[in-house]
Amino acid sequence: MQTAPRHALARVQLLREDPGLCEAIPLEQQPWAIEHCIAAAMTVMPGSWQPEDLGLDPRAIGALVLDGLLLRRVGIDGRFGAELLGEGDLLQPGEGVYSSSTMASTTRWRIITRSRVALLTGPVAERLARYPSLTGALTGRALARARRLSMMLAIVHHPRVEVRLHMLLWHLADRWGRVRGDGVFLPLGLSHSVLADLIVAQRPSVTGGLKKLVERGSLKRFEDGWLLCGEPPVELLELQ
Spatial distance between the Cα atoms of 208 and 13, rounded to a whole number of angstroms? 45
* Separation of alpha carbons 84 and 112, rounded Å: 9
Is 1.10.287 the CATH number for 10-144?
Answer: no
Residue 52 confidence (pLDDT): 80
pTM: 0.87
Q: Enumerate the domain spans of the chain.
A: 10-144, 161-237
pLDDT at 55 (0 to 100): 82
CB 171 within 8 A of CB 163: no
Least confident of 64-68, 185-189, 229-233: 229-233
**Predicted confidence band of residue 237 (pLDDT cuts 50, 70, 90):** low
| 217 confidence band (pLDDT: 50, 70, 90) | very high
15-24, 52-61, 176-185, 224-233: range with lowest mean pLDDT = 52-61
* Low-confidence winner among 25-29, 89-93, 188-192, 202-206 (lowest mean pLDDT): 89-93
Mean pLDDT, rounded, of the chain = 88
pLDDT at 98: 47
pLDDT in tens, 152-188: 989 999 999 999 999 999 999 999 999 999 999 999 9
pLDDT higher than 80, residue 106: no
Quick one: how far is CA 82 from the chain centroid?
10
Dihedral (Cα; 53, 56, 59, 64), 10-degree rounding: -90
pLDDT over 60 (residue 2): no
Fold for 161-237, please state it.
Answer: Arc Repressor Mutant, subunit A (1.10.10)
CA–CA dist 140, 125 (Å, integer): 16
Question: What pLDDT does 219 receive?
Answer: 95
